[in-house]
Chain A
Amino acid sequence: EVQLVESGGGLVKPGGSLRLSCAASGFSFSNAWMNWVRQAPGKGLEWVGRIKSKTDGGTTDYPAPVKGRFTISRDESKTTLYLQMNSLKTEDTAVYYCTADLISAAARDYWGQGTLVTVSS
């Protein structure tokens, strides 16, 4: 059974930092492209970034609102995905989901249950 379990969310002050983790199991983590997606309260979905598999170069891409502040990394030995968030702003308040892109292998993707990050003074 595929599982993605996010952790690390919480309350942080503007300008602060937070690191989210996503523990993955039940699939070939090393071959999966992984994403972070967020959803502000009552709003739509926003893609936060992606890291390719090591075999595809392990490179990362980010949209403009988080580029230079957020960093995605992965630990193959722990099958864990990370999102390091620095210089947090109030507009970063959202539920953060990690996703595993298994479309090529299984014609589907998987999402975690999400972790809430609240940026407030």
Chain B
Amino acid sequence: EIVLTQSPATLSLSPGERATLSCRASQSVSSYLAWYQQKPGQAPRLLIYDASNRATGIPARFSGSGSGTDFTLTISSLEPEDFAVYYCQQRSNWPPLYTFGQGTKLEIK
């Protein structure tokens, strides 16, 4: 089973600052890595798929990078609505099992 480890667990920043979230896989997942945002009481929303492709309707301030085992989600300039929990998810072809990281909580400083 592929394990995803996200860091940090909590990130405290102010609006306008740059956020960098990390996701590390226990073995290579190639580029089959997605990022989700979840706000309280809501279903998650897909932000990035295949490591670096923005999903439909996602603002350009969100970007993803990485391949293999190390991935990064960057929010270039935080907006008030960006404070939420972020999850990475791997979708490798083999083993054909998707897993989520434990999440990073992005909170207002």
A residues bordering B, Cβ < 8 Å? 35, 37, 44-47, 50, 61-64, 97, 103, 106-109, 111-114
Contact = CB atoms under 8 A, between A and B. Distances in A.
13 contacts: A35-B98, A37-B100, A45-B44, A45-B100, A47-B89, A47-B97, A50-B98, A61-B96, A63-B99, A97-B44, A103-B46, A107-B56, A111-B43
Given A44-B85, A63-B1, A107-B56, 8 more contacts: A44-B102, A45-B87, A45-B89, A47-B100, A97-B44, A103-B46, A107-B55, A111-B43
Interface string B35-56: 0101000011110011001111
Interface string B64-93: 000000000000000000000101010000
Contacts of A47: 89, 97-100
Q: Which of B50, B55, B97 has the most CB of A within 10 A?
A: B97
Contact of A63 (B45, B89, B97): B97
Contact of A46 (B36, B55, B57, B100): B100
A40 B96 CA distance: 23
Contacts of A64: 1
Given A45-B103, A97-B43, A111-B43, A106 B56 contact: yes
B88 to A, nearest CB: 10
Closest 8 CB pairs of A and B: A111-B43, A108-B56, A47-B98, A45-B100, A107-B56, A108-B55, A44-B103, A61-B96
Contacts of B96: 50, 61
Q: Which of B46, B54, B56 has the most CB of A within 10 A?
A: B46
A3 to B, nearest CB: 13
